[in-house]
Amino acid sequence: MTRKTLFILPLLAILSGCGVLQSAIKSTFPYTAALTIPRSSAVGEELTVTAPAGSFDQHINKGGSNADQVSSVRVVSARIKSVDPSDFNIGNLVLVKVYLSRVNGKDEILVASRTDITTGVGNSLVLDIEDTKQLDDLLHDEKMQVKLVYKLHNHINQNTSLRVVLSLSAKPGKK
């Protein structure tokens, strides 16, 4: 190891407990989930799919969580993008609602939605966020899940993979 590395590693270890740094990290790295809409989905019915939600900051914190160092965690932006096929038109969906919860489905919170999706929107869509609810309690769990409620305009010919991206904001300190 170089001298620079020997200096940086202890510095990062010290700063990782700092609420200011942890809130910056939480606000920088979004939570994402890869969800698959099966081609067997019925048209015109509200259906659901779930997937684990993850963020890069879970990998650099002891135990996967820095929740004890941050407070007032809220969603500040939400987006859905087609992954496979990459040219899937999100306009095939009539509506989407995105919930964040514990892995067991408890403490579910609506974090984003869109109920007026136009048919020609393309392969990516910014969602309307629900930013009045704090996510502090959910972040104490190492693992979370995203639930997507959706309704199709038309039948889809293949399983479709979508990525949900939730950007958060956090303040340093305890709740």
Please report, for residues 59, 88, 122, 163, 172, the alpha-carbon distance to residue 156 in angstroms, rounded to integers and kept in the order given. 36, 9, 15, 17, 45
Q: What is the CATH classification number for the domain harbouring 28?
A: 2.60.120
Residue 27 has a pLDDT of: 46
- Judged by DSSP in three states, 114 sits in strand
pLDDT tens track for 10-30: 555 544 554 444 444 444 467
The Cα–Cα gap between 19 and 69 comes to 5
Residue 80: which domain range?
3-172
pLDDT tens track for 72-91: 677 888 999 999 999 999 99
Between 51 and 63, the higher pLDDT residue: 51
State the residue for tokens 């200011």: 20
Backbone angles phi, psi at 3, to 5 degrees: -60, -40
DSSP state of 135: -
Query: Domains in the chain: how many in total?
Result: 1
Residue 88's CB is within 10 A of a number of other CB atoms, namely: 20
Give the predicted TM-score (pTM) of the model: 0.77
Residue 76 has a pLDDT of: 87
pLDDT at 152 > cutoff 50: yes
